[in-house]
Structure 1
Amino acid sequence: MQCIGYIRVSTSKQGRSGLGLDAQQEAITRFAGNSGFVISDFYRDVMSGGDDDRPGLNTAIAQAQRRKCPLIVAKLDRLGRDVHFISGLMRHRVQFVVAELGIDVDPFTLHLWAALAEKERQLIADRTRAALQAKRDRGERLGSPDILDVARIGSDRRRTMADEHAAKVLPIIDEVRRAGITTLSGIAEALNARGVRTARGGRWHGSTVRNALRRG
């Protein structure tokens, strides 16, 4: 049976290292092989699990529903750390399997794990706020005094890299258009089918195609 894999890390540092993503992908691949699933594609996000509007997840869910196959994640908190969000997926009959929990886990158990994930997120946020407040109380300076300069340099570098990548991809997009594919989503699918990656190393979506065209 076909399935869709979804992996997520919260920070760009984790995303660049690939360690968290690689470990999740390996866990899903191993679980799928042992459970009779064939992974047709992987989708990923480098975003907080508290953000419900994630491009990779949205595409993964849409593909899973279109193909009438389950979405597989390594751990439930990779899907989300919010009970309401997880319950919403279940209520809308989005098929998903958590490799860590196994294929036969019941909805009640999923709700319990979702509640634990949400509580963990709250505890992490509370500990972070308490640590920052303790630093303030001790009179310590928070963050780098040059943070604005660092942010500006990083932004300029990302913009340059995006422009350079767009220059390389635009000829491929032109070729796809000449083949009769003109919609943003169609171009994105064609780029993904050819193994072309975005500037950040991810998969193409209509929005990323539009951004590349604007840089042309």
Structure 2
Amino acid sequence: MQIVAYLRVSTARQGASGLGLEAQRAAVQGFAAAGGHTIVAELVEVESGSKADRPQLAAALAMCRLHRATLVIAKLDRLARNVAFIANLMDGGVEFVACDMPHANRLTLHLLAAIAEHEREMISQRTKAALAAAKARGVKLGNPMGAGHLKAGAKYAASLSVARRADKVRSNDLAVAGIIAELSAAEHSNDVAIARGLNERGVPSPRGMVWSRGQVARTITRLASYAEPCTVR
């Protein structure tokens, strides 16, 4: 079968360093190799598992519908630690597989999601309790220097943020490059026609909304500037 790989880390630092991503990528690639499956796209998200707003996940689901592919993740908690989110996804018409439990049925996935959600809540409660206990002992929380200690790393953090946004834009562009190329090859093709074609196929725009002529034009311009071939693998 054809599969779309979805990788997620919780922090920008993990995303920039590759920490956690390589292990997830290896798990998905191992699953694909063992089953003779083809990876048609890979999308990476840097976001907390408690948040439901996932532009890269939305793009991954759109790719699954387009290619009639299966969404594959390394571990269930990489998808979400939220029971309602998992339930809605399971009812969304896209099949998905967790490499750590590839033969799990719908009931098992609900139970695992419930456990992951409970674990997230317990971590939050333990953190709050530890901070409250420290404060009761007279420990001064926070950095005594205030924001002063951030100055040295502010410039680096800003550049890291810019790089992260650029990587996210590039990932979005490459995910739709093949579809745009196909629509561009059609007779009488223009930016309006390409936008209409993307919307008809259910491919979300970079912001998770419908495509406009301007968004198509900007995406094509960026694709032309990338050094590597702009095709969805």
Q: How many residues align?
A: 185
Displacement of 1:155 in angstroms is 5.1
| Structure 1 unaligned blocks of 5 or more | 170-178, 198-216
Tell me the equivalent position of 1:174.
none
> Secondary structure in 1 aligned to 2:53?
coil
Aligned residue type for 1:24:
Q
Q: How does 1:21-170 map to 2 (within 5 A)?
A: 21-102=21-102, 104-151=103-150, 154=153, 156-159=155-158, 162=162
Seen in structure 2, the aligned counterparts of structure 1 residues 7 and 160 have a Cα distance that, compared at 3 Å, is: closer
Tell me the equivalent position of 1:184.
215
**Alpha-carbon distance in structure 2 between the residues aligned to 1:95 and 1:59:** 15
Seen in structure 2, the aligned counterparts of structure 1 residues 97 and 7 have a Cα distance that, compared at 3 Å, is: same
| Structure 2 unaligned blocks of 5 or more | 170-183, 185-189, 192-212, 229-233
Tell me the equivalent position of 2:5.
5
Seen in structure 2, the aligned counterparts of structure 1 residues 22 and 149 have a Cα distance that, compared at 3 Å, is: same
Seen in structure 2, the aligned counterparts of structure 1 residues 39 and 160 have a Cα distance that, compared at 3 Å, is: closer
Aligned residue type for 1:98:
A
**Alpha-carbon distance in structure 1 between the residues aligned to 2:65 and 2:224:** 20
Seen in structure 2, the aligned counterparts of structure 1 residues 99 and 194 have a Cα distance that, compared at 3 Å, is: farther
TM-score if structure 2 supplies the norm length? Answer: 0.68
> Secondary structure in 1 aligned to 2:44?
strand
CA deviation profile, 1:15-39 (whole Å, cap 9, x unmatched): 2221201110111110111122111
TM-score if structure 1 supplies the norm length? Answer: 0.73
CA deviation profile, 1:51-93 (whole Å, cap 9, x unmatched): 1102211211111122211110000110000010000001122
Pairwise CA RMSD of aligned residues?
3.1
4+ long deviations beyond 6 Å: none
> Secondary structure in 1 aligned to 2:20?
helix
**Alpha-carbon distance in structure 1 between the residues aligned to 2:80 and 2:67:** 22
Segment of structure 1 superposing worse, 74-83 or 149-158: 149-158
**Alpha-carbon distance in structure 1 between the residues aligned to 2:26 and 2:221:** 26
